[in-house]
Amino acid sequence: MSYIIPFIILITVVVFIHEYGHYYFARRYGVAVTDFSIGFGKEIFGFNDKNGTRWKFCLIPLGGYVKFFGDRNVFSQSEQEELLKKYSKEDQKKLFVTKPLYQRSLIVAGGPLANFLLAILIFTLINIFVGKDFTQPKIEEVTINSPAEKAGLKKNDIIIGINDNKVESILEVSTYINTNNAEKLKIQVLRDQKKISLVAIPEIIDSKDPLGNSVKKKIIGIKIGPANNEFNKEKLGPTKAVYYATKEIWFVSKTTIQFVGSMFQGKADTSQLGGPIKIAKISGQVMEFGILAFLSTIAYISISLGLINLFPIPLLDGGHLMFYLFEKILGRPLSQATQEGFFRIGLFLLLSLMLFTTFSDLKDLGLF
């Protein structure tokens, strides 16, 4: 139960925000919504609002959906003429397929957009009320024969950049090292008021994350401390808070895309991938660290959900947007047969990913 309750809370919040993004733009452009569901399967409880939408919570809380009025293949216009014959002129205005291309695109993109906005809101509030760390990292020790020593790093070097990322906090050093997908690591340091660029090749070791989970960790053999012997955490004003929140989302998105690219090249550590079981486990573990850590986890999961849904895979929001791009270029929707072919490919990819992450989850639990 210590894992299940935090997991349900996390998934409910992230999925609700995602689906509400679709719902908001649908209602804005006059598309009638018949169902707003959190979860799948049998309805546990729900209610009807004044617009005729059924808001419900279902038995399997692993996603959600918004169902539009007249929905059969809501993101396709290839059967539009046949569909329109079934409805009066007044009802036709409520159909998704009758809306202009830009409105359909915004309705589809509304889900991922809402996820990114949720993450921005959470990080912004944290930056304003809790603060952001700006402690400058200084190397206090370099391990003998380590990648850092071989690269030329020295004690008292102040780390100011890793790869193309500006380092503004001690916490960012480990993050930038471990999210590096290349073999080599470019490190910029300040030594005697001079900027020096060095290249290190990290070692990969078996380690534990702060939650006690087994991970593959990249190290270069340095011990980091505050440059001025004190930690510097600042509460930010709204503008700077939003800036750093947006910067965090950009970094997470960029790193995720780079990881996916590395995965297709066979270079990524896929053992760290996980599905619902792993998310549930992490949710429970993080909750023990307090509400702040849990809110941050919600933000990161929200970014992941928004980003993954933008991948150009049929059945995902990005797949529908891809179809709309073809429609814009060709001046007409793709044929029904072509779309169905793409959907089969998308279904195969998603089922394969689900099987892989489930196997990874079970392996993480020691069942394989």
Q: Which residues are catalytic?
A: 19
- Residue 196: what residue type? I
**Residue 310 CA neighbour count, 13 Å, CB half:** 19
**Residue 38 CA neighbour count, 13 Å, CB half:** 19
Q: Give buried/exposed letters for 313-351 (b at 16+ CB in 10 A, else e).
A: bbbbbbbbbbbbeebeeeeebbeeeebeebbeebeebee
Distance in angstroms (rounded) separating the CA atoms of residues 257 and 307: 9
Distance in angstroms (rounded) separating the CA atoms of residues 216 and 177: 12
DSSP secondary structure code for residue 88 in this structure: -
Distance in angstroms (rounded) separating the CA atoms of residues 107 and 44: 27
DSSP secondary structure code for residue 157 in this structure: P
At 129, phi and psi to the nearest 5? -95, -25
Q: Give buried/exposed letters for 226-263 (b at 16+ CB in 10 A, else e).
A: ebeeeeeeeebeeeebbebbeebbebbbebeeebeeee
Distance in angstroms (rounded) separating the CA atoms of residues 333 and 60: 34
> In this structure, what is the dihedral angle of CA atoms 150, 154, 158, 163, given to the nearest 10 degrees?
-10
Distances 325 to 108, 264, 317, 318, 353 between C-alpha atoms, Å: 13, 24, 13, 10, 25
